[in-house]
């Protein structure tokens, strides 16, 4: 069996090595000739899997994407070919939620506001939006959920209209890219909606670049819009709208979900799906492969506070690092190089937090930090 996989997927050899020959590829430049003899194809969101890519292949039995979304897969074509396909929903949801939290901590320090006083509008309440809401709840931060599709499906959570969510102090986008129909998210934030944002608001996009009209956003910024921007995703990636970058407070290269745990969960989920496809009993688990972090244990002797939140979050992940890498390398090395060479980053769960006996609340543990094992 020949298994072709995106070179940026971690632990592929550990999970899939027993199944057959492993062949890595560059996700952006993959060609039909390269995968003409593939039995299994493992991709990420930058690879479009369609007839153009697969027309030379007659062996393919399984396509897995180590991402939440499937908008890069031609599902009708795969069904027509009777090729099994699967994704990894929720694999990097925690990573994206912690990216948002790091961005808020950094902006709070930079602009001297208290994150606990914010109201966050979460647009898109699936896996990622839900994980973000849980972390905000742990901190006592108020949030509103907007997701008309889930609201219609019978989800019992309380939802608000889009305009209500857009009036919050922070707007955090976590929707899939849907280009048409009643629930279209393409240019969900168009020129009209962007123009109604106020100077004190923060707009965070860590889902799909096309959800925000980048050209309209640039024009409004050039006209004096002061809304703070955190952009991890961009229209027309990897061709970023360069004039927009100076107006963005935190700019990164579609890496919000790029924690080691987030990427590795994607590999594990595809491994489990392939085992099911092959009727093979799974023998491997992610915790067998994750390395011990340089700092894996922290003792806290004081009650939780804004200062402690700042220190804990940035100890694990300081988004300013990725912002600096982006601004330094985007012109010379480029968008895909930044993603390919992304330095290791862990999630809160990699660190055990030990609280003093006098601690009133266990906020760190509810935030996702590990408890010291007994």
Catalytic residue chosen out of the listed positions 131, 187, 254, 346: 254
Please say if 21 is a catalytic residue: no
CB 171, CB 228: distance < 8 Å: no
Catalytic residue chosen out of the listed positions 237, 261, 268, 347: 237
What b-and-e string marks burial along 98-110, b requiring 16 or more CB atoms within 10 Å of the CB?
A: bbbbbbbbbbbee
**Using a CB cutoff of 8 Å and minimum separation of 24, what contacts does 74-78 make?**
74/48, 74/49, 74/50, 77/50, 77/51, 78/49
Please say if 254 is a catalytic residue: yes
In whole angstroms, give the CA distance from residue 89 to residue 126: 9
Which of these, 25, 22, 47, 44, lies nearest to 34 by C-alpha position?
25
In whole angstroms, give the CA distance from residue 223 to residue 208: 25
Q: Which residue has the tokens 């806290």?
A: 300
In whole angstroms, give the CA distance from residue 234 to residue 211: 9
In whole angstroms, give the CA distance from residue 50 to residue 238: 20
Please say if 111 is a catalytic residue: no
The pair phi, psi for residue 322, each rounded to 5°, is -70, -30
CB 71, CB 33: distance < 8 Å: no
In whole angstroms, give the CA distance from residue 263 to residue 67: 8
Bridge partners for 123 per DSSP: 146, 173
Q: How many Cβ atoms sit within 10 Å of the Cβ of residue 24?
A: 15
The pair phi, psi for residue 121, each rounded to 5°, is -90, 110
Catalytic residue chosen out of the listed positions 131, 174, 187, 208: 208
CB 348, CB 98: distance < 8 Å: yes
Cite the active site residues.
208, 237, 254
């Amino acid at each position: 069996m020949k298994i072709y996989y995106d070179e940026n997927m971690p632990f592929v050899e550990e999970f899939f090595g027993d199944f057959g020959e492993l062949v890595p590829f560059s996700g952006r430049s993959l060609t039909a000739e390269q995968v003409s003899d593939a039995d299994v194809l493992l991709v990420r969101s930058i690879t479009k899997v369609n007839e153009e890519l697969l027309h030379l292949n007659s062996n393919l039995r399984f396509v897995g994407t180590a991402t939440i979304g499937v908008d890069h897969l031609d599902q009708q074509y795969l069904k027509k070919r009777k090729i099994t396909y699967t994704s990894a929903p929720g694999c990097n949801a925690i990573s994206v939620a912690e990216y948002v939290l790091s961005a808020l901590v950094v902006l709070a320090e930079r602009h001297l506001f208290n994150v606990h006083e914010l109201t966050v509008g979460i647009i898109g309440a699936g896996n990622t939006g839900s994980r973000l809401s849980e972390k905000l709840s742990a901190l006592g931060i108020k949030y509103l959920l907007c997701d008309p599709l889930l609201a219609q499906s019978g989800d019992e959570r309380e939802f608000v209209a889009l305009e209500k969510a857009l009036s919050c102090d922070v707007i955090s986008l976590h929707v899939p890219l849907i280009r048409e129909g009643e629930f279209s998210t393409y240019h969900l934030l168009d020129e009209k909606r962007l123009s109604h944002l106020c100077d004190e608001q923060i707009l965070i996009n860590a889902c799909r670049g096309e959800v925000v009209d980048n050209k309209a956003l640039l024009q409004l910024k050039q006209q004096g819009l002061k809304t703070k921007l955190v952009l991890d995703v961009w229209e027309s990636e990897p061709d970023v709208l360069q004039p927009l970058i100076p107006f963005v407070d935190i700019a990164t290269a579609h890496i919000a979900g790029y924690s080691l745990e987030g990427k590795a969960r994607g590999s594990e989920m595809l491994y489990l799906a392939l085992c099911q496809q092959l009727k093979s009993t799974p023998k491997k688990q992610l915790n067998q492969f994750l390395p011990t972090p340089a700092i894996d244990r922290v003792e806290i002797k004081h009650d939780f506070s804004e200062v402690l939140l700042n220190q804990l979050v940035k100890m694990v992940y300081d988004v300013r690092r990725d912002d600096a890498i982006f601004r330094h390398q985007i012109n010379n090395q480029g968008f895909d190089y930044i993603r390919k060479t992304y330095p290791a980053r862990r999630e809160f769960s990699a660190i055990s937090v030990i609280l003093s006996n006098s601690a009133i609340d266990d906020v760190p543990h509810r935030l996702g930090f590990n408890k010291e094992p007994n």
